[in-house]
Amino acid sequence: MKIESILNAQEITELAKERFKEERATDHLEGWFLAKEIMRECDEKFKEDVDSIRISKTLVEIAKRIPLWLSDYHIFAGTQDDAFARSYALINPAFSVDSFTGYCDPVAVFGDIDPIGDITRERIDDLKKYNENTKFAQALCAAYDIAGDKTSEAIFFIEQVTGHLIPDMRGALKVGVKGLKEQIKVNKAKETDEDKKVYFDAMDIALDAAVIIANRYADMAEEKAKGLEAKDKERFKLMAATLRKVPENGAENLYEAIQLFIIMWQVMCLEQTPNPYAFSVGNADRIFEPYRSKEDTGRDMTAALLKHLLVFYNVADRSWAISQNLIIGGKSNTGEDMTNPTSYALLDAYYDMNLPQPILSVKLHKNTPDKLYESLGRFLFTPGCLTPSFFNDDSVFEFLKEKNHVEPQDLEDYSVAGCQEPLIMGKDNGNTTNSWLNMAKVLELCINDGKSEISGKKFGKSYEENGCKNALELLQNIRPIFYENLEEYVDQMVECANAASEAISILQVPFLSTLMDGIKTGVDTRDTKTQGTKYNGSGCLIHGLSVVADSFAAIDTLLAERPEDAERMVEALRDNFEHDPEMRQYLMKAKKYGNNIASVDKDAAEIAGKVSDMVCSKKNYLGNAFRADWASPSTHLLYGYWVGATPDGRLAREELGYGIDPLYGEAHQGLGFRIMSNMKLPFDKMNGGCASHLGINPNYFKSETMEGKGMEFKDKIMAPLFFNPKKTDGISPFYLYVNVTTPEMLRKVLANPKKYAPSGVYIMRIHGTFVNFLDLSPDIQEDIIKRLDMESTSM
């Protein structure tokens, strides 16, 4: 029996929408806590085993014992709920910028659960205490100890990377767990390294967890079917039969492929509970198209089934599983367009459901068909609807090949992890959020005698230690002094980041490794001594480009016109211009990046180039290069809070510029000039990614149809930015997201959500992900409104 013979596309869609309502009504998450209790028991039960075997056996125990359930609305069994806590700060209504301390406390998650049922405060505190004393927690705390107080005011930041990579499910879909186990058996037989033989055994054991979970769900589905009639009965009987087949065996149609995928994803996340943020799907249209085409499943039915996959990615009341990215489109290694019927079915599913997760991204290239742009029009110009991120294959292929040394045959398999980080599906552990660098804070310390304007605390070198006698001499040499100081901080950051990676490597991931080259290498994905994936690096997200560039321009102006006011400027910065507003007005009139002004645009390009080179010269735990990522996922707001007043006229604690964009309010000449400034940046050096946002006024688009507006968007936005013939040096920009709305519209939504968002969901972009605007904290809502910056995108 097939799903099409039981339910039509509309009936399947109705079930998906009811399932989402049910999920959004969930206001507590305890599965991760129960899993952690099982882990503690298994630490003792399997203490004689080597770590990888102990971890695999533990995953099997979790699969056997974690509470499972089936909703009346399920088409596919499976959930991510047990892998996540209600933790993510930016969608927590209680979040405030001044309270954010990062994600560096290994037991902070225990503050995100309240006593419920038999989970008492005593149980919570007891498990927290146990986890405080684990080898991992101690190693992670030691990594932060290396940083000392440098993270206290966000000079730099580090974190242990949990998700932020892209497993390759295609092999599992094709041959199932049984086939993966056979590959492990063959490769183990050829292996001579005893440690790798043990790890092959660990992966083999870990894969059992998926079959156990599937069979438990099958039992539940069979039991549920007994009490039902007609279509509902047949639906759960089909679910049970499918779960008896997959994931143990490979999929033979789209329904089986989605079910297999969901079970594998559930177990992969359970292995890293709690909060394996930002696992991403990859090119979902290419993953599922072979199974759609086997039975030539129609577009409506394909979309309906995929709607349930999208609902799976939404966890509880605020869709807590943030930044899980799904991408479509793009070109092949030989340049052919790779959109297919599943690409368009996925767009249909996204548009109809309009869910906060998972992120939708779209690959574009010079030969992307107009049909795709036309299909995107409805997303861009429907108020409150999600808008995709856009990636330029023509550029991404180039820097992956040249900078990340990706082999030509792997280029078409790049996808996006988390917000916007390009990685190769199943072959690339980029540790993309391993470190974070705040250039604006470093500039502040250089100018202020090594002291923080915020706290007065001395973090950096004094004028004398920088070889200067006074403020004037310091400002006259600001560029070399800035880069010299920055490099010292980068070296410290790298040491801490590598230590954090060493810490997380203690928590081996044998199940994930089966989807990440481990079956070939016999090495854990996280191993810091032997490389387990074909490609490896570490990410550094770099903040403050526009603030530093604009500050250099303002300093140049001051030195040319009023050098005698050097000390006056420094004093004005120290007291946040409180007693010298005239100095602030003078500095704000200096040239600003984003207006196609040659001198300041040159500074921005030079900063981006030099700092990228600096970061990429550093080596991670395996001797591979760090990757320069010019993105700031709301950390422009968080890190700006710790930066005092700067020479561009920015006030203390105000946000920094987002990614590679001008500081809000400083680009006055409209979209054309802003794009011209943007095009001068060295995108070929941004090999970890970059981020750019445009707030677009929908009134600039005049077509009467959504398809026509999609084509206008191509001609007015994407072609000039991604495929501009005037860009003759280096590669073109490769990433963009947009919010097509106005500040006035968003303020109306906040003032009257029942009128403008009657469903309770109004989707907006927030860095590389989209979220329900109404879920956000007031600080983040205001940041989105401010950064629409309509003057900078006027046409």
pLDDT along the chain (795 residues), means of 10: 96 98 96 98 98 98 98 98 86 67 79 94 98 96 91 92 94 98 98 98 98 98 96 98 98 98 98 93 98 98 98 94 94 97 98 95 97 98 94 97 97 94 97 96 98 96 97 98 98 97 97 98 98 98 98 98 98 98 98 97 98 98 98 86 97 95 92 95 96 94 97 97 90 94 94 92 82 83 87 90
Tally of CA atoms within 13 A in the half-sphere of 329 that contains its CB: 25
Alpha carbons 776 and 92: distance in angstroms, whole number: 6
Which residues touch 770 (CB under 8 Å, ≥6 apart)?
356, 359, 360, 386, 387, 763, 764
Alpha carbons 213 and 68: distance in angstroms, whole number: 9
* Residue ranges making up the domain that contains 27: 1-78+168-277
Query: How many domains is the chain partitioned into structurally?
Result: 1
Residue 628: inside a domain, yes or no? no
Residue 589: inside a domain, yes or no? no
Residue type, 230: A
306's tokens: 């995929």
Residue 235 sits at the vertex; the CA angle it makes with 293 and 283, to the nearest 5 degrees, is: 35
> Is the separation of the CB atoms in 685 and 781 below 8 Å?
no
pLDDT of residue 775: 82
Residue 229: inside a domain, yes or no? yes
Residue 266: inside a domain, yes or no? yes
Which residues touch 574 (CB under 8 Å, ≥6 apart)?
448, 453, 644, 645
Is the peptide bond preceding residue 274 cis, with omega within 30 degrees of 0?
Answer: yes
Residue 210: inside a domain, yes or no? yes
Helices (H) and strands (E) in the chain, counts: 30, 17
Residue 392 φ/ψ, nearest 5 degrees: -100, 100
- Cβ-count burial of 582 within 10 angstroms (0-12 exposed, 13-18 middle, 19+ buried)? exposed
Residue 751 φ/ψ, nearest 5 degrees: -75, -30
Alpha carbons 507 and 525: distance in angstroms, whole number: 11
Residue 760: inside a domain, yes or no? no
pLDDT of residue 89: 61
Alpha carbons 575 and 138: distance in angstroms, whole number: 40
Complete DSSP assignment for 409-424 = GGGGGEEEETTTEEEE
Residue 312: inside a domain, yes or no? no
> Is the separation of the CB atoms in 175 and 195 below 8 Å?
no
Torsion sign, CA atoms 190, 191, 196, 201:
positive
| Full-model pTM | 0.96
Residue 386: inside a domain, yes or no? no
Residue type, 60: V
156's tokens: 């730099």
pLDDT of residue 778: 84
- Residues making up the chain, counted from first to last: 795
Residue 440 φ/ψ, nearest 5 degrees: -65, -35
